[in-house]
Chain A
Amino acid sequence: MGPYLQSALIAFSALFTNKTRAFLTMLGIIIGILSVSLMGAAISGVDNVFDDSMKSIGDRVLYIQKYPWFMGNGEWWEFRNRPNLEPEYVDKILEKSKYAEFASASLQRSANLRFRDYAIENTVVEGTNWQSAYINAPKLAQGRYFSQVEDRVSAKVAVIGSEVAINLFPNLDPIGQEFFINSTRVKVIGVLEAQGKFLGLFSQDNIITLPYQTAKNILGYTRHLSIAVKITDGVDLETAKEEIRYIMRNIRKQRPMDSDNFAINQQEAFKQQLDGIKLAITAVGLGITALSLIVGGIGIMNIMFVSVKERTREIGIRKALGARRSVILFQFLSEAVFISFIGGLIGVLLTTGLVGLLKKYFVASLSPNLILIALLVSVITGIVSGIVPANQAAKLDPIESIRHE
């Protein structure tokens, strides 16, 4: 082991005899590793946010809506002629379905809020049924959801998002406070926990939830109705979906040859959509990354060939004094690996800084695993690009190389 350790030390000190050259060679690897780890950080950031966001949709919930979540080109023109959903469907579905555990209608529209001197414009107001508390509702930070009775009598009670609570009732306990939505007075009975942004883009905390009829009275608007159906645990989601589809066609009195005039959405659709995007990011990212690492690797290979040429005589002397092929090979291979590894280390450090900065504007997360992978990739790049020059050095003839000037 001794001669190999010494060779590694020699290789390390060789970096310092040509600092500028070593650094310029490293630059290619720094850029390569920077793009690998930034790409990874962005993808895992998107992943984390996606998982969080999907919780608010719920994986056992079907959404009956006029439009599917993701439409192809021109489909909108076809779907816009579909009839609107009616809130009465909720009871019919619950009555007929074997698999539906809860169902709830939901309508949304923005409205203006006012409390004493505070006013907020364009807050999302949602009207929904009492069952929604059991379907996909977030946890409560304070208070309670409205009850079945409050739902039936259209009580003027509201569950508010954390952002609304902070903005409308600064330094006040919101529970029991009365405020205005447009011109209707409502009372706060619950505050939701902070949800963050959906897919990192849209705030889910600037929202107010009211009983369905209360919201309808205030907003006067029912076109974009959505019905959420929670499927009983243990039931196959596809079977349940088929059943709900059958019930909906019955309600709508559709003939066998007609195509559905409604859409049943589920979390899966988001997943599929996002998987496509992730795949695209990863493929493009890997392409760019691989390219920059190949360029960086070629840079190392090039400089290693120069290094072997310059030190031909040194290699000859070392061989004459008894250095075996593998020892010489190791010396030059470790020089290449040092260049690439240090480059990788600098790249990872830069990424750590950049990810910290990026987090303020976009989602990103740098895991220890990712750092390890980036460093491993840099070492592999060093080995791959150093092996040919190092082997050339190892095979040099001592007689000829010792005469080399």
Chain B
Amino acid sequence: MALLELQGITKFYQVGSVEVRALRGIDLFVEKNQYLSIMGPSGSGKSTLMNIIGCLDTPSNGTYILDGSIIHGNSIDENNGHHTVSDDQLAYIRNQKIGFVFQTFNLLPRISALANVELPLIYAGFPKKERIEAAKYALERVQLADRMTHKPNELSGGQRQRVAIARALVNNPSIILADEPTGNLDSKTSNEIMELLQQLHQGGNTIILVTHEAEIAENAQRIVHVRDGLIDQDTKTNRIF
């Protein structure tokens, strides 16, 4: 069974009187420990797709199963034919199964790197001692053990992104979802970050990378092209792992 199953996923928005069809029927299966890139120009629907995969949003229709949990589905036992989850259940799933890495890092500015990495564990309800232990270990994995007490504004862009990656790793998620992780970085730092993701993949993590840069997308084993709300191409790269 695939780690991530999307079948017939659609997403329609009502903007005034106009219906925007962001996704028009996406089928996607991702196996455990796969390294996948989602590519597409802006307006293609790749951000919407990422939000749905990341459980930040729910689809209008279709089935989404993540690591055995039905996030959204057409099931017969529900009155309206949909299996839906509440806001709080989505928060729980994000906390347990997804590690986010954002283009703009999205670290909290007033607290240390260690405290930032601790955040997902706070919301998972871990006691302080375990939180600090796990956060330290995650920061060691991204080679930032010596920068734990620094606040984000005392770190370089590459270091901030590594803190964000540590935060994504800390709760042992089913997938790491990286949205343009190198978008705000220079090419040297970008390479370092891509190498780090590569290492995590080799260490057994499942990674979904969302980007519009072909060069960055080439780091993955598999590239999915999204265009006009549909999957346009699904290719394997030459990378051998």
- A interface residues, Cβ below 8 angstroms from B: 2-3, 6, 17, 313-314, 316-327, 398-399, 402
Contact = CB atoms under 8 A, between A and B. Distances in A.
B88 A320 contact: no
Contacts of B122: 2-3, 6
A324 B92 contact: yes
Given A2-B122, A2-B126, A323 B91 contact: yes
30 contacts: A2-B122, A2-B125, A2-B126, A3-B123, A3-B125, A6-B122, A17-B110, A316-B106, A317-B107, A317-B108, A318-B123, A320-B54, A320-B56, A321-B94, A321-B120, A321-B123, A321-B167, A322-B91, A322-B92, A322-B94, A322-B95, A322-B96, A322-B120, A322-B123, A323-B123, A324-B91, A324-B92, A324-B123, A326-B88, A399-B57
B154 to A, nearest CB: 17
B51 interface: yes
A interface, over-half SS? helix
A324 B108 CA distance: 17
Given A322-B123, A399-B57, 20 more contacts: A2-B122, A2-B125, A2-B126, A314-B108, A316-B106, A317-B106, A318-B123, A320-B56, A321-B119, A322-B91, A322-B92, A322-B95, A322-B96, A324-B88, A324-B92, A325-B87, A325-B88, A325-B91, A398-B56, A399-B56
Q: 9 closest pairs, A vs B, by CB?
A: A322-B95, A322-B123, A2-B125, A324-B88, A6-B122, A321-B120, A324-B91, A323-B123, A317-B106
A11 to B, nearest CB: 13
A399 B51 contact: yes
A256 B183 CA distance: 107
Contacts of A322: 91-92, 94-96, 120, 123-124
Nearest to A328: B91
Contacts of A320: 54, 56, 94, 100, 106
> A6, A313, A320: which has the most chain B beta carbons within 10 Å?
A320
B48 to A, nearest CB: 9
B127 interface: yes
A322 B122 CA distance: 9
Interface in B199-228: none
A327 B100 contact: no
Contact of B119 (A318, A324, A399): A318
Nearest to A2: B125
B102 interface: yes
Contacts, number: 57
Interface of B: 51, 54, 56-57, 87-88, 91-92, 94-96, 100, 102, 106-108, 110, 119-120, 122-127, 167
A403 B231 CA distance: 26
Contacts of A313: 106
Contact of A327 (B54, B102, B123, B127): B123
B95 to A, nearest CB: 2
A321 B95 contact: yes
Contacts of B107: 317
Nearest to A14: B110
A393 B91 CA distance: 15
B122 to A, nearest CB: 5
A320 B124 CA distance: 13
Contacts of B167: 321
Contacts of A324: 87-88, 91-92, 123
Contacts of B96: 322
A402 B119 CA distance: 16
A314 B119 CA distance: 12
A126 to B, nearest CB: 75
Nearest to A3: B123
A318 B119 CA distance: 8
Contact of B100 (A3, A17, A321, A323): A321
Contacts of A317: 106-108, 119
B128 to A, nearest CB: 9
A402 B125 contact: no
Contacts of B110: 17
A138 B102 CA distance: 84
B71 to A, nearest CB: 15
Contacts of A327: 123
A325 B95 CA distance: 13
Nearest to B127: A2
A319 B54 CA distance: 12
Contacts of A321: 94-95, 100, 119-120, 123, 167
Contacts of B127: 2
Contacts of B92: 322, 324
Given A3-B125, A324-B123, A319 B91 contact: yes
Contact of B102 (A17, A318, A323, A402): A402
A319 B108 CA distance: 12
Contacts of A319: 91
A327 B88 CA distance: 10
A161 B119 CA distance: 75
Which residue of B51, B110, B126, B167 has the most chain A CB atoms within 10 A of its CB atom? B110
A399 B120 CA distance: 17
B56, B102, B123: residue with the most chain A Cβ atoms closer than 10 Å: B123
B120 to A, nearest CB: 5
Contacts of A6: 122
Nearest to B54: A320
A313 B104 CA distance: 11
A333 B106 CA distance: 24
